[in-house]
A = this chain, B = another copy of it.
Amino acid sequence: MAYIAVDLGGTNIRAARCDGEGRIAARAHRPTRPEEGVEAVIARIAEAIREVWPADEPVVAIGVGAPGPLDPETGVVLAAPNLGWENVPLAERLRTLFGVPCVVGNDANLAALGEWAYGAGRGHRHLVYLTISTGIGGGVITHGVLLEGARGLGAELGHIVVEAREGPRCGCGQTGCLEAMASGRAIARMAREAWARGEPVPWPDPAAVTAADVAAAAAHGDPVAEAIMDQAAFYLGVGIASFWHIFNPTLVILGGGVMRAGDWFLEKIQAYARARAMTPDYITPIVRTALGEDVGLLGALAYARMRGAAEAPISS
């Protein structure tokens, strides 16, 4: 009995054949190329799935992690800015193509589920997952339940407001969201602002600076870059303390490209979070994702097992 897991991102499509224990038996990749339109992307997803489809065993279900917002009940991607998609019935399309159950969930929620089932979160009934990347996504397991919310739009942990009056505008339209203060995009913005203020920045082309550039300069002791990374770590710590108070979890897991900054950055986040805990009882370990690049695939697998297995497997 096999599962097919798909991790659909703005740049890459990954597909894998897995067993229920999280072992990956085959992998396939395709570029997403969203600019070629919805049909071309669905065709490439289908190609990748065919490449890993088992020759001699039934497939229980296909699980797909996709950028939100989407409706996990119906598997319709409602709006995905990175893909340029609107109201694409992805689960139904794949179900029709492959004749097996298909479920589609929010990628950050599924990453939390993947870490819970196969990664750093095993054995925890209460955990918070944050992916700190271009934006900030979230996933929550509370009382052993994946928090998706009434319409599957929950756990948008990057969109809690931490600077209500004076914070910069967020991509979502609010001001002062955690994402606007501490994401990769926010780190790059702070670097451009420092340059515009005439601060001595170490980047040859400050208008094109990335969060990775800022993290690298901070690691080499550049004071402007250090101050920017410290600011991001402060807001991540403040946000994590709020999540401690809301969810009282036993673990916080951090993933995403920004966390590739060295351990000094993780340690700053830990220190700022601990300083904001109401009481020491709330403090938990704050660790890195254990699944790395495979977190999306294994999350999609865990989601297919959780939801897809309820429907009867169809051999094909």
| Partner-B contacts on A (CB < 8 A) | 69, 78, 125-126, 140, 142-143, 145, 147-157, 159-166, 172-174, 234-235, 238-239, 241-242, 245-250, 276, 278-279, 281-282
A126: chain B residues within 8 A (beta carbon): 149-150, 154
The verdict on A153 contacting B248 (CB below 8 Å), with A147-B143, A162-B164 known, is yes
Report the bound CA distance from A242 to B241 in whole Å. Answer: 15
A287–B81 CA distance with the chains assembled, in angstroms: 33
* Shortest CB distance A185–B (Å): 16
Residue of B nearest to A79 (CB): B279
Contact A281 B153 (CB under 8 A): yes
With contacts A174-B241, A241-B174, A242-B160 taken as known, whether A150 is within 8 angstroms of B276 at the C-beta atoms is: no
Query: When chains A and B are docked, how far (Å) is the Cα of A248 from the Cα of B239?
Result: 18
Partner of A69, one of B140, B152, B157, B279: B279
Chain B residues closer than 8 Å to A174, beta-carbon distance: 241, 276, 278
**Residues of B contacting A250 in the complex (Cβ-Cβ under 8 angstroms):** 150
Q: Write out the residue numbers on chain B whose beta carbons fall within 8 Å of the beta carbon of A164.
A: 162-163, 234-235, 238
Task: State the CA gap A157–B278 with chains docked (Å).
Answer: 12
Given A143-B145, A246-B246, A247-B147, are A153 and B235 neighbors across the interface (CB < 8 Å)? no
What are the 8 A-B residue pairs with the smallest beta carbon separation, nearest first? A149-B248, A154-B248, A160-B242, A156-B245, A153-B248, A159-B245, A126-B150, A172-B278
CA distance A163 to B163 in the complex (A): 5
Whether A151 contacts B248 in the complex (CB less than 8 A), given A238-B164, A281-B69, comes out as: yes
A234 to B172 CA separation, bound complex (whole angstroms) = 19
Report the Cα distance A279→B161, complex, angstroms.
15
Residues from chain B with Cβ under 8 Å of A234 in the complex: 164
What's the Cα separation between A20 and B140 when bound, in Å?
32
In the assembled complex, the Cα of A154 lies from the Cα of B243 at a distance in Å of 9
Q: State in angstroms the CA–CA spacing of A299 and B279 once bound together.
A: 26
Chain B proximity of A245: nearest CB distance (Å): 4
Q: A278 near B173 (CB under 8 angstroms)?
A: yes
Q: Among B151, B161, B173, point to the contact of A238 (Cβ < 8 A).
A: B161
Bound form: Cα–Cα A148–B145 in Å: 13
A273 to B250, CA, bound (A): 30
Min CB–CB distance A158 → chain B (angstroms): 8
Smallest beta-carbon distance A108→chain B, Å: 12
B154 touches A247 (CB 8 A): yes
Contacts of A173 in B (CB 8 A): 278
Most buried by B among A166, A172, A173, A246: A246
CA distance A68 to B172 in the complex (A): 35
